[in-house]
Structure 1
């Protein structure tokens, strides 16, 4: 029930990564990458399915060897989410991955080899009607560009990116998305702002090697949030040294906080003080764990006292305001006649939220 800010999305062409549209106003896609050995088919399939359950729109799989691409053939048959085949250096692996059903090829034309090999990969992508993702990372910037600029600056990363774009342009192939990533927030943000004015293709966002779960999430929220607020970004990955499922969760949380893509329960909760009438922190954390399966967007305010509680409750789908023994309950901005027992507030709130979601889904199914 909170008003959504108006973020004007950058215009771009649309590509399709399997069943997931990217660009041209489509929902900002959230993706992650497997960290299992691709040759361990069962482990990789299981991780992909976990990512899919978490809501991932796209999953990237590294394919460094011919054994890995043969495993990819089997993996692809066992999952539903679109898969991006991540390939470097050996163009023949890219050809095999496309033949085996990859929904997108992640390559850098510059390290694939000579023009003939690059042309074969592009012709293959065109034949199978799949897009390509090209990208620049600070850790693999070309030596001549490093020497030209002497240090890592946005202009260096953009020049590298445009070098790859020029290769695809000369081959008359425009079905690609592009990324410029650095572990430094300012370098990433400023590079992408320059890039956004130079191309019509979708832009993939990420702060590369962002770090641990906590600090990496903060860096990603600041960097990606800055670009998304500018309307830049059509798909994103939060790169964390953590379980890939957490990358997906944080990605959706970033989009949710900007009201760009509303998915799941949006908890509005106070940090608590001595005025609190029930365990707000424990309630919110427990409900967040219990309700991870909910994909519908719903605002739930859980406030420990009446100072801010009444105001937040009136603009939430469901609101609880702390009061002695039994707390006040609002639904769709209206105060209800009954109250929540503070000692059983988690169970009562979970039931109310699930009942409301059930009714919303039932109503929508009749439309």
Structure 2
């Protein structure tokens, strides 16, 4: 039976999940797709955790997860939650008591892996505490930590095995009347991840946390995540996302935002269009784009603070073109709201494909930024 009703990017059939609140952030039920990440420093080092949380919040994270490996880390959740201006998720493995204590210390949600948390009774005990406190649980099934009997039944960590494991634990939570559930079925294999989420989306009405687990270092991880997450979002599958990278969590948040932006699913954004350059280019376009990206991050931060700007592709979204010669702009970039096409020592400023004026090279970027700020005003 198909429960899910989330609007797909290319699908006119309405699909919608149950809505679950994670702190003050709604997940599912037609809410904007949220972006989350996980801190990379020791949770017991509260000052370092708070600095990292502030960095990812400024980058656009909607919520953040912290690893709870022992009781000291669980106790640290209380101070982190009190001082952080963002919903906090506790990530717990092996010891259900750490999940219980994290909830009692203020965690807005706990992520548990049913495959290693100690069985159905332990999962239900955590859920009872979450229900009493009005908090959410993410049931996170990973291909690398499925129960032994499920692995034996299916001969390994297959899509069917992941969905079977998930179903077992969803039923256990439903049996005690707990429904503030977010689900995930992650694998480091992109195809397995996609197929597992497709099957789960047909079976359960709960929001889905989408991502490719252990995707790898920046370059490889970005490709895997963009494909895996992007395919699912285009099919209307996914309510919150995390790009899992070996590296700075700020890069995870930026990547998640860019995936949403590329699919026209983002909130406020500066959408950059730039040509790949060729022998016609007479300027350092790579450097120009790099400099503009820094300004775009500043502008996007201001848009997140006041997202009431333009509608269209997303609230406050502005498409900006940076072209290396007259061939690629303004003609081929006519869909941009504003842009620059560079020649030798000069740049043509255009809006919606129409030439506005020609400016000197040294003034081009400053002029462009002023035009964008005028559009956003």
Q: TM-score, normalised by structure 1?
A: 0.91
CA distance in 1, matches of 2:120, 2:287: 59
Alpha-carbon shift at residue 258 of structure 1 (Å): 0.9
2:105 pairs with 100, 114, 134, which one? Answer: 100
Q: Is the 8 A contact 1:301 1:312 kept in 2?
A: no
Matches within 5 A, 1:180-219: 180-219=185-224
Who is 2:60 aligned against? Answer: 55
Aligned length: 354
Q: Structure 1: which 5+ runs fail to align?
A: 360-367
Equivalent position of 1:304 in the other structure: 324
Distance across 1 between alignment mates of 2:190 and 2:121: 37
Deviation per CA, 1:131-176: give whole Å up to 9, x if none: 1100111111111111112133211111111111111111111110
Partner of 2:128: 123
Question: 2:152 maps to what in 1?
Answer: 147
Q: Secondary structure at the match of 1:77?
A: helix
Q: Is the aligned partner of 1:37 residue 2:42?
A: yes
Deviations along 1:191-218, one digit per CA (max 9) or x if unpaired, are 1111110000001111000000011001
Does the 8 A contact of 2:9 with 2:233 survive in 1? Answer: no
Aligned match for 2:337, one of 308, 311, 317? 317
Q: Mean Cα displacement is larger for which, 98-107 or 32-41?
A: 98-107
- Note if contact 1:312-1:319 (Cα within 8 Å) is conserved in structure 2: no
Shift in Å, 1:330: 1.4
1:294 to 292, 295, 299: 299
Distance of aligned partners of 1:6 and 1:83 in 2 relative to their CA distance in 1, 3 Å threshold: same
Contact 1:313 1:321 (C-alpha < 8 Å) held by counterparts: no
Query: What's the C-alpha RMSD, in Å, of the aligned pairs?
Result: 1.9
Aligned to 1:236: 241
What stretches of structure 2 of length at least 5 have no aligned partner? 1-7, 304-316
SS in 1 for 2:298: coil
The answer (yes or no) to whether the contact 1:108–1:164 under 8 Å persists in 2 is: no
Whole-Å Cα distance in 2 between the matches of residues 109 and 87 of structure 1? 10
**2 CA distance for matches of 1:195 and 1:117?**
23
Inter-CA distance 323–7: structure 2 relative to 1 (3 Å threshold): farther
> 1:117 Cα deviation (Å)?
3.7
Distance (whole Å) between structure 1 residues aligned to residue 57 and residue 190 of structure 2: 28
**Partners of 2:114 and 2:141 within 8 A in 1:** no
| Rounded Cα–Cα distance in structure 1 between residues aligned with 2:265 and 2:121 | 42
1:353 maps onto 2:372 in alignment = yes
In 1: Cα distance, 2:10 partner to 2:359 partner: 36
1:355 shift after superposition: 4.0
Q: Report the CA distance between 1:323 and its aligned residue.
A: 3.3
Q: Which residue, 247, 250, 256 being the options, matches 2:252?
A: 247
Match of 2:361 among 342, 354, 357: 342
Deviation at 1:183, TM superposition (A): 0.5
TM-score by length of 2: 0.89
The answer (yes or no) to whether the contact 1:316–1:333 under 8 Å persists in 2 is yes
Residue-by-residue CA offset, 1:266-290 (whole Å, 9 max, x unaligned): 1100001122243222111111023
Measure the CA separation in 2 of the matches of 1:123 and 1:157.
Answer: 24
Q: Which moved more, 1:215-224 or 1:92-101?
A: 92-101
* In 2: Cα distance, 1:333 partner to 1:26 partner: 34
